[in-house]
Amino acid sequence: MSAGPGIEVLGTDQQEAWRRKELPPVERLAGGLWSVPVPIPDNPLRYTLSYLVPADEGLVVVDPGWDTDEGWAALHAGLAAAGASIGDVAGIVATHVHPDHHGLSGRLRERTGAWIGMHPAERETLPHRQHEHGDPFAELTTWLRRCGTPEPDLDDLLKMLSSGPRSPGEMAEPDVLLEDGDLIPVHGRRLRAVWTPGHTPGHLCLQEPDAQVLLTGDHVLPRITPAIGARPDAEVPPLAQFLDSLDRTADFDDHDAFPAHEYRFRGLGLRSKQLREHHDRRCMEILGVLAQLGEPTPWDVATNLTWSRPWPEIGAMRLSAVSETVAHLEYLAGQGFLTLDTRGPGPDRVRRTDR
């Protein structure tokens, strides 16, 4: 079954479940790995694909999932289907610290004594580290105003965010820091960290070279384009990092891709190329909008771009849309196509540069 020329769907049962909007089955995979779907509350992604990697010491769990009782039960059920139990877990790796990946890591460590591993740059983005000196909603409000968000929209967004599912404020710190190229500290299994910043600063993919498998986390998915949002403290624009990281994953074209959402596939070279082309098209669309609007705010630019739904229907996802827009603006500024004027007392302004 194919998802397009050059991309082969390997997880056909996963794809069918995705189409039916159901959880896919627990499955045994190449190299003796297992995929376990862990549900995400009130989210269109519906589930995270957690992976169980057998080693001599026990199981390494990659991305345990969102911390809910339902998710905890799903993880237990997946372990049982693999002929294991919670006591067999020796290690945990978070590809990144978003709550649908790292949320259950703390509870799992408490019950098992397992170590938790992640990239050093990811450790610094843990929510309690990011906001230890300030109110995250106050920081968000300031940023949205800098983007030119109208006050009615700002009030509406903050109400929706405060009433929706809350991300955990305190998430588990790592015991093991995994740099690019490091092997996961287990015996009887080679599992190598591949640093792919962009979606987050310390995002990791994990290569199992003997089975020719790459666990891609959120970096490369078969159908969805991962969100690349702005980060105020980023020294390199996140989109520039993401595009460089796509060049890395394209080199694993002979590996099966085991993503954290949707379904397994083969064709990492082409899929990485498709994602790059998507961002190229978005950049061209932004430059076209700037030619029409003159010197808009980032919010103005975002409202004039094409999205999967009309702008008034996006709801709370307007926050992600503005963040992604700013990420593209920062990338284009770094390429010399525009300037971002952040000096004035009012909202930031975008100016196209003649080249």
> What DSSP designation does 183 have?
B
Residues 307-344 have pLDDT tens digits of 989 998 998 899 999 999 999 999 999 999 999 988 87
pLDDT in the model for residue 232: 82
pLDDT in the model for residue 344: 75
pLDDT in the model for residue 169: 59
Contact status, residue 329 vs residue 350, Cβ threshold 8 Å: yes
φ and ψ at residue 315, rounded to 5 degrees: 70, -135
Contacts with 75 (C-beta within 8 Å, 6 or more apart), sequence order: 36, 38, 50, 61, 64, 65, 104, 108
Check whether 2 has a pLDDT greater than 50: no
pLDDT in the model for residue 44: 86
Check whether 167 has a pLDDT greater than 70: no
User: What pLDDT band is residue 355 in, cutting at 50, 70 and 90?
Assistant: low
Give the global pTM. 0.94
Check whether 1 has a pLDDT greater than 70: no
Domain definitions of the chain by residue range? 2-130+171-276, 136-164+279-352
What's the chain's average pLDDT?
A: 93
Contacts with 130 (C-beta within 8 Å, 6 or more apart), sequence order: 124, 136
Retrieve residue 255's tokens: 């590996």
Helix (H) or strand (E) holding 110: helix 105-112
Cα torsion 211, 52, 15, 73 to 10°: value is 170
Strand partners, 89: 59
pLDDT in the model for residue 3: 59
Amino acid at 12: T
Average pLDDT over residues 196-220: 98
Angle between helical axes of 268-293 and 238-250 (0-180°, round to 10): 150
pLDDT in the model for residue 4: 54
Check whether 83 has a pLDDT greater than 80: yes
Check whether 37 has a pLDDT greater than 90: yes
Arch. (CATH architecture) of 2-130+171-276: 4-Layer Sandwich (3.60)
Residues 237-254 have pLDDT tens digits of 999 999 999 999 999 999
Percentage of the chain beyond pLDDT 90 is 83
Residues 130-139 have pLDDT tens digits of 765 556 678 8
Residues 96-113 have pLDDT tens digits of 999 999 999 999 999 999
